[in-house]
Chain A
Amino acid sequence: MAKKVNAKKRFLDLIKKGVVVLDGSTGVAMQRRGMPNGVCPEKWALDNPKHLIDLQKEYVKAGTQILYTFTLGATRPKLDEFGLGKDVLKLNEGLAKISRKALGKNGLVAGDIGPTGHFPKPFGDMPFETCVNHFKEQAKGLLKGGVDLFVIETMIDIQEARAALLACKELSDKPVIVSMTFDKDMRTLTGTDPVTALITLQSLGADVVGVNCSTGPAEMVKVIEMMKPYAKVPLMAKPNAGLPRLVDGKTIFDMDAKTFSSYTKPFVKAGVNLLGGCCGTSPECISGITAQLKTAKTPKDTKISYSAVTSARKTVFMSQDIPVVVVGERINPTGKKQLQEELKAGKTEEVRKFAFEQAQQGARILDVNVGMPGITEKDVMVKTVEMLSSLSELPLCIDSPSPDVIEAALRIYPGRALINSISGEPEKMKKLLPIAAKYGAMFVLLPLGGKGVPETAKKRQVIIDKVFTAAKKFGFTNKDIIIDGLVMTVSANQEAAAETLKLISRSSKDGFNTIVGLSNVSFGLPERGYVNSAFLAMAMDRGLTMAIANPSLDLLMNIKAAADVLTMKDKKSEMYVKLFSGHAQSSGLKTPGTAGPETIYDAVVNGNSESIRALIEQAVKAGEKPSDIVDKKLIPAISYVGDLYEKKTYFLPQLIASADAMKAAFSIIEPLLKAEPGVKIEKKIVLIATVKGDIHDIGKNIVALMLKNYGFDVIDLGKDVHEFTIIEKVRETGARIVALSALMTTTMIEMKTVISLAKKQGLNCRFMIGGAVVTESYAREIGADGYSKDAYDAVKLAKKLSEN
């Protein structure tokens, strides 16, 4: 144990003394020293130790204080690529010993851990624990080789970085550096930005967080600048020697050592604490850094304090100075029959819908509660959290009474979650505080002590003090805890609201964030929305920072927006103005160049299926003849839409929306037409089908819709239709036009089969064909009478074929 403490202490002492110098690139340098292409680098280095020792000694001579082992690709999945998976322990141990030898007595050896090349869930298929175990296996070898700390680097997926960090921390107390790789958009491959990565990893226990590879020093300074205001741990950077260029199939890094090391002072100014080099760098680059550091001025570290939760792609802050954060409450099966059924059946559509809608409606965090009878809560929670953490960018609030369920969810959640909740019940505290601390989660402190609900703010405060005292022992501060105001119903006790407000005031003054579950307050009262909204505004005045609510309630969300302005949380009223500025302008769509109330013609042109039925009913009621409506309004309108489509003024969804409106119109007008004296409806029959073997029918369906709107009697035979069925239907209906569709080269040949059969049987019908792979020349080749490139073209072709 004493040895472990020493390793950490030595590391921290080193950082306290000033900016620590790391090493530079090893892989490319080893190639220059004779390592052939295509070999396993780790195996070659172990078999040829002199080259690695010489290079690492050069780095030490250049000023490197922490030397990385040459083990970036020494996890089992990576070594398996060379058939060396069984040698994980041997390679890591051996290479760690080489670095130890190269370093000598001073400095520290960092066991280097890199990506496995596979992705853990939720972004990949590798089970999270499998990923953790791969890293544990590597870390065991490194520990056996005597490393002083671990460095997890070049990570492109925050979840894989988390897996590696947990593996190292679960094996030993040695310090862990975690370094991510960001692309030019300042995101990792799976979408994490630098601040989110920092907050997630430092909460999970990383001793240093940083960035390496992918960019040159100029871009990387910006990453350090972004991270610094939120960094509670030291920051590291290992940039490439500029951006890579491919010349004659070789990667070239243009930046020379002098230029590279000239970025040392900007890095120090930005707040870096450990600095080295990645791809393309050399011992000369590291010498340059060492020299520059002698005259670099280190800025003073300032104490940082804030509250934030993260998802894989977003950070959400909470404070009294920013708008109240709404935690969307709808992912909860209580009282939701469809959600209950879906959760039981293992389906996720309803959860996905709630997640999306709540985000659209202004929720900043999603509460996830899947507790209900008939399911295994832990399994369903894990599945739901996995799905939501890849689907939604909003951080999650894990809501369960079960510590086991909470722990399972926190372990696989690729961010810093919020726990809902930890109460003052001794058993809950004992189980949940260590879990929250291990995974770095924030938590909602529920002031319940297991002996009923304390009625007064004073009694609740006693519980808060008790929980906070216990939490501090695990390293929590008031910024990591959100006090639940414990809202009780005013219809049972009218003083309840006042007690909650008192507690919010007190907790806010003590520097905590506060939260309320609003809807309880109005239970048993009519028009509950008013009471909930009024209570929210009052609580916000007392310092409330969060609310668990249904964001689809306009009244509540609008009052929140207004109260954010009045409590100066919404600076310059920007969000309020943005929310409401568009309202005055909303108006119905008019046909370009028209004014006044919408007409039947407008409704077709605008594709308004909702209004057209009522407009037609009004017109018929007013005495217009159905045939006049068709001839003077509907047909001219759809013809105008056709023109617009041909000129590209309209595109496909607009054309189809108009067709849908026509269809809606005909559903009312067709029976009336049949009853109108003197009107004789004679429609040309078109048989339409997707040919045998082909299951694609969207194109065919659109053509059918358009043909119907232009007065054809369309008989749709569906998809994957046998040639005999088509021929039989032609005989049966007397159709003169047959439209065939196919999407694939393997199925378009069936068109020829149908046409040949029809000709052989002497049928007097004409064939038109279409589909993604079909062409005019193919139509000619197989004896079709015409080809159409799209649905509107098909209408024109059908008209032409029916006239001839």
Chain B
Amino acid sequence: MPEKTVYLERINAKAPVDNVLYRMGYKKGKTVLPEQQQKKINDAINLGDILCDLKGAYLFLKITSKSGNSVRLENGVIIESIQVTELFKTSSDVLLMASTAGAGIVERRDLEMKAGNNSLGVILDAVGSETADTGLDWMQEFLAAQLAKKGRIITRRFSPGYGDLKIECQKVIYDTLNLSKIGISISDRFLLTPEKSVIAVAGVS
């Protein structure tokens, strides 16, 4: 496993259209989408795909110790969360990941909404969110396949801000991965910019 952070300048993945629709409340078999509206929505999703510039980063770190509510990593970082500690029960390493859909999609969304094209805006917003998640899916799937050959498995992933993993944890992962290299910045409230950026941790058993 690489000891240095691996940066992916262009991830060859698009958000699945079904996921984008689902995020906006589409219900298969229930939602009725007339042809003309469907075309508009498809065009907007395609535009979103063009505007996204999907990048990622990942790093494996060894777990040096665990307590009931925290996991300590080889670089001294401590992840405090009962849920994460439980999830990493059998893990010897941790996978830190981040992905961003880039600034272009957010800028265009804001422009469209400012111009009153709110429908296009919400679709671009959904494409951006799903694309960032797709970046994590892509990395996790690829790394899981690589690790499977060595008899190792990756747990499900967990993002700061969910469950009892505090959003503050976003900062230590941000610093460890040096995410400024893929154009992500973090605020003193731990908000990531570009907005469509996500960070996650997973265990490796």
Contacts and interface: CB of A to CB of B under 8 A. Distances in A.
Contacts of B181: 125
A246 interface: yes
A698 B6 contact: no
A773 B44 CA distance: 27
Contacts of B168: 746
Interface in B1-55: 1-4, 6-12, 21, 24-27, 30-37, 40-41, 44, 46, 50
Interface residue tally on B, bucketed by range: 35 or more
A244 interface: yes
Contacts of B34: 589-590, 592, 606
Contacts of A773: 161
B9 A589 contact: no
A663 B151 contact: no
B125 interface: yes
Interface string A368-384: 00000000000000000
Q: Which of B25, B26, B126, B168 has the most CB of A within 10 A?
A: B25
B205 A80 contact: no
Contacts of A213: 149
B37 A124 contact: no
Contact of B7 (A81, A117, A124, A353): A124
Interface stretch (A261-269, A558-566, A615-623, A649-657): A649-657
A716 to B, nearest CB: 12
B151 A745 contact: no
Q: Which of B12, B36, B109, B148 has the most CB of A within 10 A?
A: B12
B25 A648 contact: yes
A356 interface: yes
A269 B153 CA distance: 37
A356 B47 CA distance: 9
B92 to A, nearest CB: 10
Contact of B118 (A189, A588, A695, A701): A701
Nearest to A390: B10
Interface residues of A, number: 68
Interface in A602-634: 606-607, 609
Contact of A744 (B4, B151, B153, B189): B189
B97 interface: no
B64 interface: no
A249 interface: yes
Contacts of B119: 607, 653-654, 656-657, 659-660
B148 A251 contact: yes
A656 B145 contact: no
A156 B24 CA distance: 34
B144 to A, nearest CB: 10
B90 to A, nearest CB: 8
A349 B190 CA distance: 29
A573 interface: no
B122 interface: yes
Nearest to B10: A390
B116 interface: yes
Given A589-B34, A650-B32, A183 B122 contact: no
Contact of A279 (B8, B41, B149, B187): B149
A694 interface: yes
Contacts of A746: 167-168, 189-191
Interface of B: 1-4, 6-12, 21, 24-27, 30-37, 40-41, 44, 46, 50, 104, 109, 113, 116-119, 121-123, 125-126, 142, 145, 148-153, 161, 166-168, 181-182, 187, 189-191, 193, 195, 205
28 contacts: A117-B6, A123-B12, A125-B7, A125-B182, A156-B142, A183-B145, A214-B145, A246-B148, A251-B150, A313-B12, A349-B104, A390-B12, A648-B25, A650-B32, A651-B24, A651-B25, A651-B31, A652-B122, A656-B118, A656-B122, A663-B116, A664-B116, A694-B189, A694-B191, A695-B193, A696-B195, A701-B118, A746-B168
Query: 10 smallest A-B Cβ distances: which pairs?
Result: A390-B10, A589-B36, A125-B7, A657-B119, A651-B25, A251-B151, A652-B24, A656-B119, A117-B2, A693-B189
